[in-house]
């Protein structure tokens, strides 16, 4: 029984759904994901913290046949069937010039000036924080009853040309298929380390 640390501690069933029983899926049931579900995922994920509320993630939700065909040209052979069968795949990118939006995203101080003239610092910050936002996306999707299949295994230049051609300062981080996972497509869960293996409390 999980110890109750706080009055608003999530139920064991909720924690199972988000973490303990959740899996990364390789195959998908023939069941659609609606635009309303996609928007609901975003409404949750945007509430996750990012440095100075920079919100650098720029996401293309690949859903139409035409968009899916473009993405299939960019992914590795091993990911082709996963993307083809998924009802939607999120291309999670980031904006190197996220700081241009900070006057309204972080209005209580001049945070834009912190990042001006430091493109390498912006790239590092945008990559780190868009990775966080991608993780929030997966947690949000699982919270809403959907499954996820995050992937590398794609040609970044091809993805950026296909989906960010009108935004040359955007870069792709990773992609994540979303839908209703086919349990026949996964194998047994790989080992997870005990706390003491990779942790210490200083």
- Would the pTM count as exceeding 0.85? yes
Q: What is the CATH number of the domain that holds 35?
A: 3.40.109.10
Domain for residue 31, yes or no? yes
Domain for residue 108, yes or no? yes
Number of structural domains in the chain? 1
Domain for residue 198, yes or no? no
**Cβ proximity of 173 and 97 under 8 Å:** no
Domain enclosing residue 45, as ranges: 24-144+151-178
Instruction: Write the Ramachandran bin of 145: left for phi over 0, alpha for psi from -120 to 50, otherwise beta.
Output: left
Helix (H) or strand (E) holding 103: helix 102-105
Domain for residue 60, yes or no? yes
Summarize pLDDT for 48-94 with one digit per residue, the tens: 999 999 999 999 999 999 999 999 999 999 999 999 999 999 999 99
Domain for residue 117, yes or no? yes
Domain for residue 19, yes or no? no
Summarize pLDDT for 115-171 with one digit per residue, the tens: 999 999 999 999 999 999 999 999 999 999 999 999 999 999 999 999 999 999 999
Domain for residue 67, yes or no? yes
């Amino acid at each position: 029984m999980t110890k109750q640390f706080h009055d608003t501690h999530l139920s064991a069933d909720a924690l199972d759904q988000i973490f303990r029983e959740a899996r990364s899926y390789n195959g998908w049931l023939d069941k659609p994901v609606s635009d309303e579900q996609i928007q609901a995922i975003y409404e949750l994920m945007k509430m996750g913290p990012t440095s100075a509320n920079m919100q650098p993630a720029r996401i293309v939700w690949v859903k139409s046949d035409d968009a899916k065909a473009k993405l299939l040209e960019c992914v590795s052979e091993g990911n082709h069937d996963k993307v083809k069968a998924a009802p939607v795949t999120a291309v999670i990118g980031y904006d190197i010039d996220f700081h241009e939006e900070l006057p309204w995203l972080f209005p209580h101080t001049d945070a834009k000036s912190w990042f001006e003239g430091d493109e390498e610092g912006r790239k590092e910050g945008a990559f780190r924080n868009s990775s966080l936002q991608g993780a929030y996306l997966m947690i949000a999707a699982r919270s809403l009853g959907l499954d996820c299949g995050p992937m590398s295994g794609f040609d970044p230049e091809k993805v950026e040309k296909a989906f960010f051609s009108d935004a040359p300062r955007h870069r792709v981080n990773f992609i994540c298929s979303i839908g209703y996972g086919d349990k026949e497509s996964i194998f047994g869960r790989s080992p997870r380390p005990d706390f003491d293996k990779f942790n210490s409390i200083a």
